[in-house]
A and B are shown apart, each in its own frame.
Chain A
């Protein structure tokens, strides 16, 4: 039995208190095979992978790698057996360089030669072969989310893994890069690696996987060969019902609500700032910002969100140019800000839902008077959001760290949309969310658009940009492309801009 299966999960059960995260899940991975693991957030995918990788100990069941049962709860054992995992939430040391992160834990402890040169050669070779472009000397803390993921993948590859687990690996890549990654993954498979691929993007699952395993509420609900299924059937298996993406009616653009005129900002570490960009956000229109991670998206989001004032050029909001530009000013001007990282910047983990709900407006007259908070109205407000935006939680006094990503995002959505914003900055609003939550967030953004808001959608998921945006700009190295209307460009054409081509010509033409 163990001959053809390089990895077997036998009857894995894991309980967290009353919640059964995995209910007798069995799975076999064969040599040279890609198995896609599908499921909504909270379906138990990450728990299952954490058990496999030794982060958690299963209550029942065992993990077998190459016929050997792994001692439970020991990440070292999984690593030594050749299992590597690229986590959705990165496990990198921010104050160390890329190379140090990659070699961390695999350097010989007692050796006269540090092996730095050999390691470096190997990293450069791997990064070229797998087209994972990173500078080995860059400090990880200064890298963008996308680059960090590349480091994570490299880290696993550097350890010579035989089994690679990828948790949403393509979220931060361009279509071309995704294709490159798939090509290298196929190469790796041909060389005998086996891969477990976790993704929400069904067409990617169709493109790369041989077999699909679907989890729902901790149970294995389906296992099919990829060639025998289609995205619609898979989605139905995941959700229990078939989820329909929101219908999109054409936009009715109105006046310009926010205008940037040749705005520049300073670089942030290795990430470029804005290079004399001009952009107009119109009422009733979704403006999409496409681009490879780390090309100035953060700078533009900081600018629109009030975290950063322009160093040069002018920012005009609703016809006037603010003299000071701070987050508080931005909120006062009616800008709703959905931050890129809901754990680190969007919420305060140990604050409860009420405290998080009023985070941007605690000092407004709705929630406080002369320096004293009105907790009653704050709680009413939070309960209103919980009900209206369907935030699943035990109550408004729950610490927000206990909520799932989707519910956290719903609270943030409620927090910013309840104020009736005119301008919405949505930075990676659905990153890491399951399909149900994705559709919910998208329909809320579309509803806000139809109510006359100007939406700036920043996403590294090109499909999302193409589906939702009425106008698309591409950002590369801090430069902004002209606006392309819906349907004007195909994904490969946008990919050329994303790779940094066409900007000089456009600059000359204008």
Chain B
């Protein structure tokens, strides 16, 4: 068996294979549900219902999708330029940290002033955090996969230290938890009475902004050129290292917005379980979206839907929530396979 490149894949091939990947994921999930002793159709139905079946469910899914859109965009932007930022988790926490540091009373400003400043500060924090691996890569050729990945552990331990020390909430009854941010530092709800905050709106706007940047701006053109063929980009006069650093700044900033949005929109304070791996799941989101910023929105909704749906399904059908993790993993594997099969044809000898 060999692979033969396909010069120009047809539209059915480009859209049908990803659809098939999702379909196969559903089939595998059904088999696992059967092994767990449940009726696969009712399990799938329960997941769907849990994710999108009621107003409450939809809002929950949208809330869960919000940080994933940010981290998904962070990965999509960086990967497009072949800058492998695996450190969105750390950048997310840096955004959350700065939001808590500035938002718990240090800046006592009215909301319309405070929120943009906090968001901007978060972007800067994430950007600065990723600047270090970016400079190590461009100056000394240090592999950014290693540095960004290790930064996750370092930064999480750093947060842990802060939460046990200077940032520990005196009213927190000994829990490693920061004080709550001021009411002025809370993102308002999009519709009063519904549990969906403006972090979601900011995420959608960010996705559109990234899309416009990638397709219309010279910087986006440079990023795509560097990612596609760095040698040709350098020959054409594109300052490859500068572009990589700018990409890193943007990517880190986007990931940090997830932290800002979670603290200011949802949780109100910083804890060590603020993110159940949103930074890593963002990579899956970006891959499912084929690195397309608009696609990231839908991929994030898909992933968030599986998580939220699996939670409620688990309560109703007594099937472990781990089914969600398995579905995500199989979706990713099948999608990677689908991406390859859109570009190559398997030839049997």
Task: Tell me how far the C-beta of A353 lies from the nearest C-beta in chain B, rounded to whole angstroms.
Answer: 14
Please list the residues of chain A having a beta carbon within 8 angstroms of any beta carbon in chain B. 16, 56-57, 71-74, 305-307, 326-328, 330-331, 337, 339, 344-351, 355, 359-360, 362-363, 368, 371-373, 375, 399, 401-402
A373 near B217 (CB under 8 angstroms)? yes
Known: A344-B229, A373-B216, A373-B217. A16 touches B7 (CB 8 A): yes
Give chain B nearest CB distance to A384 CB in angstroms: 19
Q: Which of B1-46 contact A (CB under 8 A)?
A: 2, 4, 7-8
Contact of B7 among A339, A355, A368, A402 (CB under 8 A): A402
The 5 closest A-B pairs by CB, nearest first: A328-B237, A327-B237, A359-B236, A345-B235, A348-B229
Chain B, Cβ-Cβ closest to A375: B216
Q: A350-B228, A372-B216 are in contact. Are A307 and B347 (CB under 8 A)?
A: no
Q: Which residue of B lies closest to A342 (CB)?
A: B232
Bound-state CA distance A307–B238 (Å) is 11
Q: Is the CB of A360 within 8 A of B225?
A: no
Q: List 30 A-B contacts (CB under 8 A).
A: A16-B7, A56-B4, A57-B347, A73-B349, A306-B237, A326-B237, A327-B237, A328-B237, A331-B237, A339-B235, A344-B231, A344-B232, A346-B235, A348-B228, A348-B233, A351-B225, A359-B225, A359-B232, A362-B218, A363-B218, A371-B218, A372-B216, A372-B217, A373-B216, A373-B217, A373-B218, A373-B221, A375-B216, A402-B7, A402-B8
Q: B349 to A346, Cβ gap below 8 A? A: no
Residues of A within 8 A of B237 (CB): 306, 326-328, 330-331, 360
What is the bound-complex CA distance between A326 and B237, given in angstroms? 7
B315 at the interface (CB under 8 A from A): no
Instruction: List A contacts of B235 (CB < 8 A).
Output: 305, 307, 327, 337, 339, 345-346
Is B219 interfacial (CB 8 A cutoff)? yes
Instruction: Identify A327's interface contact among B218, B221, B234, B347, CB under 8 A.
Output: B234
| Residue pair B216, A351 in contact (C-beta under 8 Å) | no
Contact with A along B204-232 (1 / 0, CB 8 A): 00000000000011110100110011011
Q: How far is the CA of A172 from the CA of B114 in the complex (A)?
A: 67
Q: Which of B216, B219, B221, B349 contacts A355 (CB 8 A)?
A: B221
Residues of chain B with a CB closer than 8 A to A349's CB = 228-229
Q: Are A371 and B217 in contact (CB under 8 A)?
A: yes
B234 pairs with A347, CB closer than 8 A: no
Shortest CB-to-CB span from B210 to chain A, Å, is: 15
CB-based nearest A residue for B8: A402
**How many Å lie between the Cα of A355 and that of B236 in the bound state?**
12
> In the complex, what distance in Å separates the CA atom of A402 from the CA atom of B219?
26
Report yes or no: B225 in contact with A348, Cβ–Cβ below 8 A.
yes
Would A371 and B234 be within 8 Å (CB), given that A57-B347, A349-B229 are in contact?
A: no
- Kindly state the separation between the CA atoms of A372 and B215 in the bound complex, as whole angstroms: 9
**Separation of A346 and B229 alpha carbons in the complex (Å):** 10
Known: A306-B237, A345-B231, A373-B221. 4 other contacts (CB 8 A): A348-B228, A348-B232, A349-B228, A362-B218
Alpha-carbon gap, A346 to B7, bound state (A): 20
Could you tell me the distance between the alpha carbons of A330 and B217 in the complex, rounded to whole angstroms? 24
User: What CA separation (Å) do A351 and B222 show in the bound complex?
Assistant: 12
Contacts of A305 in B (CB 8 A): 235
The answer to whether A347 touches B347 (Cβ under 8 A) is no
| A73, B347: Cα distance in complex, Å | 9
Chain B residue numbers with a CB within 8 Å of A307 are 234-235
Q: How far is the CA of A153 from the CA of B236 in the complex (A)?
A: 33
**Residue among A330, A368, A401 making CB contact with B218, cutoff 8 Å:** A368
Contacts of A71 in B (CB 8 A): 349
B232 touches A345 (CB 8 A): yes
B217 touches A347 (CB 8 A): no
Which of chain A's residues have a CB closer than 8 A to the CB of B218?
362-363, 368, 371-373
Least Cβ distance of A506 to chain B in Å? 32
B1 nearest CB across to chain A (Å) = 10
A371 adjacent to B219 (CB under 8 Å): yes
Chain A, Cβ-Cβ closest to B229: A348
CB distance from B345 to the nearest CB of A (A): 11
